[in-house]
Amino acid sequence: MTIAARHVDITTEEITCHNGMPAFLAHPTGGGQFPTVVLMHERYGLVKHTKDQAIRCARDGFTVLAPNFFYKHPDQTALAAGDSRYDMTDPESNELMRAALATLKAHKATDPMKVVVMGYCQTGRIRLSSQPRRRSRLPSYGTAQPRRANGRSTNCNQRLWKT
């Protein structure tokens, strides 16, 4: 199997979503609309590792928004070090996802017909609960504990095989 990556020049910027949530945006430079990824971070919040992942995806030709879903945590340093935790409710995560998607929809580098939501670790289940009708949802790890949101299981193994 051959997989070709494009590795293009990119633009990165720190932005603020419509609801005041900070986010990191990376997209190919030069104009046009590109397949789009909402990249949700691990339990540490929006840290360098997540931004590096966004940059790698953008260099392969994607527009990537990495929102800080835990921006309301009062101690971002402790959160990033793993010394603290932020637990979101399903309604809060749904509102934050709607804000991220609305921000992307308004950006000129976004192809609104090609959007995937990708969660990692603690945010892995959010892409299931917040977008139950979206077919493009990827958990990278996490979501092992069964939970119910919107009347549906958010257990990764159950959901992947039933979707």
Q: Which domains does the chain have, with CATH numbers?
A: 10-162 (3.40.50.1820)
Q: How confident is the model at residue 78 (pLDDT cuts 50, 70, 90)?
A: confident
Tell me how far apart the alpha carbons of residues 48 and 51 are, in angstroms, rounded to a whole number: 5
| pLDDT score of 158 more than 60 | no
Question: pTM for this structure?
Answer: 0.74
Q: Tokens 């979206």 map to which residue?
A: 134
- For 127, the token pair is 């892409």
Q: What 8-state DSSP symbol labels residue 123?
A: G
The rounded percent of the chain whose pLDDT value lies above 70 is 69
**Type of residue at 17:** C
